[in-house]
Amino acid sequence: MWNEKLVDVLVDLGFEQSKCDHSMFVKTSKTVFIVLLVYVDDIVLTGNCSTEISKIKSLLKSKFLIKDLGPLKYFLGIEVLKTKDGLCLSQRKYCLDLLAEFGLTGCKPVNSPIEPNHILTHLCEKDNTPLPDVSVYQKLVGKLIYLSHTRPDIAYSVQYLSQYMHSPTNAHFKIALRLLRYLKGSPGKGLLFKRGDSLELKAFADSDWGKCVNSRKSITGFCIFLGNSLISWKSKKQSTISRSSAEAEYRAMCAATSEVMWLLNILNELKVDTKLPVSLSCDNTAAISIAANPVFHDRTKHFEIDLFFLREKISKGVIKTIGVTSENQTADVFTKGLLVQAHNKVCDILGLFDCFAY
């Protein structure tokens, strides 16, 4: 009822509710552009006219009992820091509180969130005993999921740990504690949104074929940049089993394409002109060939819907597939554990920045 009342008031004030994200409201006129974001009763308001923003605040105050907290510095546990390069979103306090809760404030840090051969770890019989209290594991992973909103570098590790929420073993808990030791090395690290002239979308899609040893399902990983800033990413186990690495990669490309389509609609509502086609980079030449080839083969006919979807976007000039080498595949960090040097390289590309280290 609260949300329904708020929406009615905002619509009366001239806002339009986003069709892609119902928590976003946009108000436009010839020279004025205002965006309002809502989470329950927390509101972020921004725009290009301070006079209009003040007017909207006054109108909201006449309808509700509100408190103006001034310039955005802290929102839902996320710290907003202005730097000389742009805007940094960090969860430093949240991360430090998490380390303190599990007694790892003084632990020795590690340089990577998860070991490259971690899949073998939970098969060791000595560590395969179930945890006596699963609620501790569930609470830890739940908090790590929220922390991953500003830490894409832990997205794959959290995705892996969250698969065992109902039946974790000692091996899984050790991997979770190792992840906390990684966070101890740079608790203030967050996403940096850099200033720049480019508003071009570019996407990277990758998969790890048959990664799950229990179900042999593959892992989808993708990341999408607006200019040089990371704005969307995902690490998720695929819902169906892929019969080849090309099929797994193709499904990852389709997942990235779906996200690109949603982002294009969001940017359109924000009056941002984006250049088409959007580049989609993949390191699997077979998957790129399947996307370009209109002929169906026996090896591809069982996933025809994905084939039609991606090919349609390519033929309409929305998506352009690009081949990249495995060494330059930014989405690698969302599908597997990487060696320290490769992990650090990808983190730099993703725009992860520690404002508190300077």
Q: What is the pLDDT along the chain (358 residues), one digit of tens a residue?
A: 888 899 999 999 999 999 999 999 999 988 899 999 999 889 999 999 899 999 999 999 998 888 999 999 999 989 999 888 889 999 999 999 999 999 999 999 999 999 987 765 444 555 778 898 999 999 999 999 999 999 999 999 999 999 999 989 998 999 999 999 999 999 999 999 988 778 899 999 999 998 888 789 999 999 999 999 999 999 999 988 888 888 899 899 999 999 999 999 999 999 888 899 999 999 988 888 887 775 555 555 555 666 778 888 998 999 999 999 989 999 999 999 999 999 999 999 999 988 776 5
Domain identity same for 147 and 254: no
pLDDT, residue 159, reads 95
| DSSP secondary structure, 207-262, as one string | EETT--TTT---EEEEEEEETTEEEEEEEEE-SS--SSHHHHHHHHHHHHHHHHHH
pLDDT, residue 121, reads 46
In a domain, 243, yes or no: yes
Residue span of the structural domain in which 297 resides: 196-324
Domain identity same for 206 and 318: yes
pLDDT, residue 263, reads 96
In a domain, 76, yes or no: no
Domain identity same for 200 and 317: yes
Structure tokens at 357: 């280290």
Cα-based angle 170, 173, 174 (whole degrees, multiple of 5): 85
Domain identity same for 180 and 203: no
Distance CA 348, CA 125 (A): 37
Domain identity same for 297 and 231: yes
Bridge partners, residue 190, by sequence: 90, 353
Domain identity same for 180 and 223: no
| 18-to-13, 208, 275, 286 alpha-carbon distances in Å | 15, 35, 21, 38
In a domain, 40, yes or no: yes
Domain identity same for 59 and 178: no
| 264-to-19, 48, 142, 202, 225 alpha-carbon distances in Å | 12, 22, 30, 11, 12
In a domain, 317, yes or no: yes
Distance CA 18, CA 70 (A): 25
Sequence-ordered list of residues with C-beta below 8 angstroms from that of 71, at least 6 positions apart, any chain: none
Burial class of residue 316 (count of CB atoms within 10 Å of its CB; 0-12, 13-18, 19+): exposed
In a domain, 84, yes or no: no
Domain identity same for 273 and 173: no
Number of domains the chain is built from: 3
Query: Model pTM?
Result: 0.90
pLDDT, residue 357, reads 67
> What CATH number should be reported for the domain holding residue 220?
3.30.420.10
User: Is residue 343 within 8 Å of 172, Cβ to Cβ?
Assistant: no
Written as one letter, the residue type at 2 is W
Distance CA 113, CA 260 (A): 28
Q: Which residue has the tokens 């996320």?
A: 78
The residue among 233, 291, 226 whose CA lies nearest residue 264 is 226
In a domain, 264, yes or no: yes
Asked which of 159, 188, 217 is the last residue of a domain, the reply is 188
3-state SS class at 50: helix
Domain identity same for 167 and 220: no
pLDDT, residue 122, reads 46
In a domain, 358, yes or no: no
Q: Which residue has the tokens 């690009």?
A: 322
In a domain, 14, yes or no: yes
| DSSP secondary structure, 281-319, as one string | EES-HHHHHHHH--S--TTTGGGHHHHHHHHHHHHTTSE
Distance CA 282, CA 335 (A): 13
- Cis before 277 (ω within 30): yes
